[in-house]
Structure 1
């Protein structure tokens, strides 16, 4: 049987790339004639996850430096113990992805590169000098030697071409498992009909990428038009990527600490978490897709998303929520519009759920990916 491996060294992690590989990998189990495992360099099993796991190939390894690869993985490739007809590499500006690309290229194993995020200017806003050097020394090499680039939105091709890259491009959206509706909280809210109003952000605490500073400032501006008796709360849940102290300080500075909830990472399934909110939000400065919003839609939530996120075109098509620009004024105006439309939120949530269950499923993503692998890898 032909084998195409997704190589994600830190799988299982707690971010979107793990969710992507887990969802797609499990869907491939129902497609005959192709083995699509995940290769991981972590030895620990997934924690706090109750659901399907795709096939895993493990080469536990503790990196000695950022470009380090497991000797056992390289030995398996060289000895023929691990035979790959193709591979898929994930993530921008990653030293280990560069090392993997070089190792695969040396062994004549073709690979598809999935950056996940678009190559827009804001991508290099933090760590600009390091990323400038990495782009010229490593990132361009990964892109140029890939058999193909797989993007999450057609709009991400233009920034790539503007940088002079000519590698063939394919575009496939993210997906969901409709059966994960079973994770909806039995006491899930009816959006807009509770005694309070809960707005949920679920993702990493990353102010630059995810625009969380803009979200908090926009929320504060929105609240300024209310008396204190309105019970409106913004809840931020997810891993801290250094920025949580800054965000908590910003909320205090703006005088809205009592309206903010920083929960850290929650143990429940993401669909469960979203189902406890009236509105789910993603106001990223840039975003490859926004898988958390697909999960919110599956939970029957109306959503408010940045136009710079790949999911935005699907939200608009489904008439499932509100689009904003990643700036404070637009986000505040978006909240005003949501508040005015409270009576319509439940219907929006219903349309959201219907749309992702029909148009954005991992089964469909797997079928489309199978076509790409046949074209690129011949299998």
Structure 2
């Protein structure tokens, strides 16, 4: 089976979508599939940064191949005419395409080319069909949907959702779709020799609370900051790590940093920016709690990463894998309110042995349910069903 994975960018700075492709592709290859990733060389949304990679030729790694294309024109939107030309000329060499994004010009155009070339394709919307997400740039999205995306959804062989809740709430614009609900996977972290407490001057006896995700308005950071301030006012002593960035919205990122700088939280906080490698692994393994109080989250790959590292999670019930957290007792789930987050953090910090127990539960559940090898088998089965029908 020859599979195309198409994604606007594979740079890790964009978080979940890139991590998904880099986790799924070797697992598909291990299962016997031939995988080619088409992507651009973009590495930031100000239009200047690019990945230092060869362009327009296959690069072999981990059993699959990646072809990077130059962003041009419209670098900010990760658009590539070269990618689309390559797809048009080579689509007939593949059995199926898996497209990762909606409301992305290069993916919208790729879907149209797949239809023209009779290549069946699956769309993964990345939470963009959530009613809350559709409210952002609402009028523009209405036009975009009418002109492009409704036909792309209607023409898809299937829509790939990563949780039952995402599938339940997602808009289809009156189109009847075949839905696949297949979760994302995580790669168990390697052993880290990074002593993050020493690196960031955090005393050993202080509980470490970690936020590690894109710094975005939907993540509920204002709620978290207010809840943490309330904890300090109640006499709790802890250290907060804010890890992440947002190349698409640097103004909001700076707003959050400024809010912390002018808060009593300042002396209890370390802001790391984007982290990867051993520092990321060290933070995930060292944290006593991982917190993500998002207003909406189609899956929450950062939550799964914390779980597989053995860290209990505190999340809102708008993170769509919340039911799995409840059922596996891998952490605590609350509402998107300051009071709810405060109460959950209080409960956890009052009972650190329970945190450790739930961290063990989290790791066991993640290893059993978020294995890329198992998920790759589900996806290959879905691919085969679509190919046979077509």
TM-score by length of 2: 0.85
Q: Report if aligned partners of 2:102, 2:126 keep a CA contact under 8 Å in 1.
A: yes
User: Which residue matches 1:327?
Assistant: 337
Q: Which of residues 204, 209, 217 is equivalent to 2:218?
A: 209
Q: Look up the match of 1:256.
A: 265
1:266-345 equivalent positions in 2, closer than 5 A: 266-269=275-278, 270-345=280-355
TM alignment of 1:345-364, pairs within 5 A: 345-364=355-374
The Cα offsets for residues 12-43 of structure 1, whole Å up to 9 and x where unpaired, read as 332110110111111112112x2123222228
Per-residue deviation, residues 218-275 of structure 1 (Å, max 9, x unmatched): 222232211xxx5312211112332221112222454322222211112424433211
Per-residue deviation at 1:99?
1.2
Q: Secondary structure at the match of 1:9?
A: strand
CA displacement, residues 311-341 of structure 1 (integer Å, 9 cap, x when unaligned): 2122122211011212222111111111122
Q: In structure 2, how many angstroms separate the alpha carbons of the residues matched to 1:136 and 1:233?
A: 48
Q: 1:38, 1:5 → 2: CA distance?
A: 6
Maintained 8 Å contact 2:166/2:299: no
* Residue number in structure 1 paired with 2:73: 64
- C-alpha distance in structure 2 between counterparts of 1:203 and 1:260, whole Å: 16
Query: Is residue 84–residue 106 contact of structure 2 (8 Å, CA) maintained in 1?
Result: no
Aligned partner of 1:148 in structure 2 is: 158
Distance 1:261 1:84 in 2: 47
- Runs of 5+ unmatched residues, structure 2: 42-49, 54-60, 198-202
Aligned 1:1-379 pairs, distance under 5 A: 2-14=1-13, 15-32=15-32, 34-42=33-41, 44=51, 53=62, 55-65=64-74, 66=77, 68-71=79-82, 73-80=83-90, 83-117=93-127, 119-160=129-170, 163-178=173-188, 180=189, 182-185=190-193, 194-206=204-216, 208-226=217-235, 230-240=236-246, 241-242=249-250, 243-269=252-278, 270-378=280-388
Shift of 1:163: 4.1
Which residue does the alignment assign to 1:49?
A: none
Matches of 1:280 and 1:164, distance apart in 2: 38
d(CA) in 1 for partners of 2:224, 2:135: 18
Cα distance between partner residues in 1 of 2:116 and 2:96? 13
Distance 1:82 1:107, change over 3 A: closer
Work out the CA distance in 2 between the residues paired with 1:162 and 1:60: 31
Distance 1:177-1:59 versus aligned 2 partners, 3 A rule? closer
Q: CA deviation at 1:140?
A: 2.0
Distance 1:158 1:237, change over 3 A: same
Q: Partners in 2 of 1:24 and 1:351 — Cα distance?
A: 24
For 2:208, what is the secondary structure of its paired residue?
strand
8 Å CA contact 1:8, 1:89 repeated in 2: yes
| Secondary structure of residue in 2 paired with 1:175 | coil
- When the two chains are superposed, the root-mean-square deviation of aligned CA atoms in Å is 2.5
Contact 1:222 1:333 in 2 (8 A): no
Whole-Å separation in 2 of the counterparts to 1:216 and 1:299: 24
Greater Cα shift, 61-70 or 255-264: 61-70
The range that moved more, 150-159 or 360-369, is 150-159
Q: Which runs of 5+ in 1 are unaligned?
A: 47-51
> How many pairs does the alignment contain?
362
Give me the whole-angstrom Cα distance separating, in 1, the residues matched to 2:359 and 2:226: 26
TM-score (norm 1): 0.87
1:62-82, Cα deviation, whole Å (9 max, x unpaired): 2213484333x4444444487
